[in-house]
């Protein structure tokens, strides 16, 4: 699995939280709004992991609003999840491109779109070499 490093697509602020590690990596810090309330949400930065921590209660199947914790911009895109049809949220990748993920609790719909595959692979290989 690859650990992603992400930023808000609106304000550009880095969203990695070194104070809360999930799957042995800095987590992705977001703000979530659900039917029952709102609060912090930390996601695993490992692409393909669905681990998270949050004090906000969200029912299985419920769609949530995801926001940048820095500028409070909504992270929703016009794209729909290919698995369940719900809204997709997105974050900017440090390697160039975006990661998209479903806003419905329990859905595993997610994807990465790279803007420059060659440059992205070069950056990823450099980060893998550094971590060894």
Alpha helices in the chain (DSSP H): 117-131
For the stretch 75-123, pLDDT in tens is: 999 999 999 999 999 999 988 899 999 999 999 999 988 887 777 677 6
Q: What is the pLDDT of residue 46?
A: 93
Residue 30 has pLDDT above 80, yes or no: yes
Q: What is the overall mean pLDDT for the chain?
A: 92
Query: Which one, of 99, 80, 82, lies nearest residue 90 by Cα?
Result: 99
Residue 131 has pLDDT above 70, yes or no: no
Q: What is the pLDDT of residue 80?
A: 97
How far CA 74 is from CA of 1, 3, 9, 64, in Å, comes to 27, 23, 10, 11
Q: Which two tokens stand for residue 38?
A: 């709102």
Measured in degrees and rounded to the nearest 5, phi and psi for residue 45 equal: -85, -5
């Amino acid at each position: 699995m690859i650990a992603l490093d992400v930023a808000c697509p609106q304000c550009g602020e880095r969203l990695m939280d070194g104070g809360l590690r999930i799957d042995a990596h800095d987590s992705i810090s977001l703000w979530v709004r659900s039917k029952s309330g709102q609060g912090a949400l930390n996601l695993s930065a490992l692409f393909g992991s669905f681990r998270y921590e949050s004090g906000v209660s969200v029912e299985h199947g419920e769609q949530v609003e995801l926001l940048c914790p820095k500028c409070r911009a909504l992270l929703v895109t016009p794209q729909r999840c290919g698995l369940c049809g719900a809204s997709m949220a997105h974050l900017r990748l440090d390697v160039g491109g975006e990661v998209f993920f479903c806003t419905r609790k329990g859905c595993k719909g997610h994807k990465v779109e790279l803007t420059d595959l060659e440059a992205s692979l070069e950056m990823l290989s450099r980060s893998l070499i550094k971590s060894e």
